[in-house]
Chain A
Amino acid sequence: MLGSILSQYARTLSVFAAFLLIVLVEVLGIREAIYPSLEAVFNWMNQSSWLGIIGTTYGSVYATVEAVHLLSMAVLGGTVLATDLRLLGILFKDIPSETLVTGTHKCFKWALLMAILTGIFCAAGVANKVYFMEVFWIKMLVLLVGSCFMLFIKQPFLTSRPHVEIDPWMMRLLAIASILTWFTVAATGRWIGFS
């Protein structure tokens, strides 16, 4: 009986386990306990790792990688907006939403990969600064949750059935949550840049 429920609702249970884990990490003070020990890692990233040394020594290299990071985020945001605004029935009404959802996903995955790789370099260059910024940690959390949401929840759901079978309000909730998630990633990213 329990095994059947676990296998039948594995995705839902994983979601609740993940959110429960986030709440427990915060409530039990695990985050506060780990945070001070991370300062040494961030200082090493900035002052001793080759990423940090290149980033802090060659401004032109840092600027070039940051430009690729911003372009990746722009492509990522473009795929998210194109898909979600189509799901909301605002844009690209002449294109079937199933076509757009499958068509943009490959582009989204490559853009996400490039954004993460270039983001690690950018963070290493200013690691001793971003460590103390609350907004940096908010961005990392939302990026992680948003990526998992996109790859393991939203995309499998949207490709599992014809979209006419999905409740329109469910579709709106999904699209608005997705837009707000990636808006937060972009906005907190710019916030880090201006802090």
Chain B
Amino acid sequence: MNDSSKWDDKTIAVVSTSAILLGALLYYWVGQGQSTVELLELAYGSFKFFNNPLVF
């Protein structure tokens, strides 16, 4: 297998699309995680994994 056939149209398309999708979705979910933590901190003063107001 030579290098010219390795990086053909389908390969470049699949690698670039996968990288863009992965980056965009990770950015989205990390952002959602951050906003959830901020919301919990705003509501209860601090972030706990079991942030139930009934559990002290």
Contact = CB atoms under 8 A, between A and B. Distances in A.
Q: Give the dominant DSSP class at A's interface.
A: helix
Most chain A CB atoms below 10 A, which of B1, B11, B13: B13
Interface in A11-25: 11-12, 14-16, 19
Interface in B1-50: 1, 6, 9-22, 25-26, 28-29
Contact of A184 (B1, B14, B25): B25
Nearest to A160: B10
Given A9-B9, A11-B10, A12-B13, A177 B28 contact: no
Interface range for A: 20 to 34
Interface of A: 8-12, 14-16, 19, 138, 142, 145-146, 149, 153-154, 156-157, 160, 165, 167, 170, 173-174, 176-178, 180-181, 184
Judged by DSSP, the binding face of B is helix
A138 B16 CA distance: 21
Given A138-B28, A165-B1, A184-B28, A15 B13 contact: yes
A15 B16 contact: yes
